[in-house]
Structure 1
């Protein structure tokens, strides 16, 4: 068995859980609490070797601190060190009241890798978009200027690239060009991941791979002019995404849904 200094780091992403303020309340006709418990059961049954658990926003649907404590209780059986970032439906004050975990901007030392977590909820437009504050962008630029020899994975809630869905592209990261310029100028950035989209995506940002995970709640149908939920078939199932970060800078990602396992094809 490889020692901990040389083996790959395994990161599990859960996103867009949308737990309602009170147990039993439905989010778009589904019990988000019960569905998240099924996801937890699936992770445990899969035997995935989780080192870090990353929660990428819209974790609670405008709830108070008790709703976030309920979220963390549901996730308690999972292994791995916890990290979270807020989404446009989250209440940052309630997140901070529920846990001492950093809420957003954080640098995580993964040994051979660095994980940079960003808060993209500044300057909301009232429809779902958000941006990185100037302070956030300066912090990111400074962190990217450090330890340039180590590969970097960046996580934020809002997607910084368009996805061919007109209505979703209108509420993507508000200052995406500022962000992608920083990524393009930093070849050590090997991957960027987000939530927000409620669907699986695999694209690229310059030299970096870009992934989005399915939601643990409802799924949005991709490539649509207007909002539309997935209503049937495997793509309507809740899911999650995993990342294996190798010491040499390689990164692999795969996706699981409750109804199937779907590894990603390589980008062309």
Structure 2
């Protein structure tokens, strides 16, 4: 892993520690002030965050140790984060697990390079005199194998960190989609209630319209049946009024 990648990982772990500190503050307030016990989900989330931070810190220690010339800035920054992480562990109230299982020791070793020299006098003399037996050049297979293993290990760690980052992003995306699904479900329930009320109102209006229509039909039939009688009564009333007026 390159120095740039290590710096990005350090920043990522620093953000994780800030989230952990906020989580512990809320947990302490819940237990100390409100006298409430954390839920099982809170405990599970706390353990998950601790595992994630510890794992990333271990990876960073290995990455920095594998650098040819690890800088003091990287070593100091990682040491600071590890100490901050261990301090956060001691601030956990109502702890339901063994803190020692999650503590992390600083294990940053400066790597030194050694150079092999030939000290055999006969070999030096033969080399100076030009009488040394010719031997074809061969790479140190053990050294090459060691370098290859280190490179493979570093690549493997980088892949794991990338996968962990992708899993974190996937978890956040799934959590967001879950919350969005709950909100959509709640809105659908509200719409169903409104549709049911609207359906009841439509049914009630339809019933009233049918009743009014039946009454109009009854009135129309009665007028049709008794139309001549009504005409006679009206003419009689008019005739009586004329007689009264003329007299």
TM-score normalised by structure 1 residue count: 0.20
Question: Which structure has greater strand proportion?
Answer: 1
Give 1 or 2 for the bigger CA radius of gyration. Answer: 2
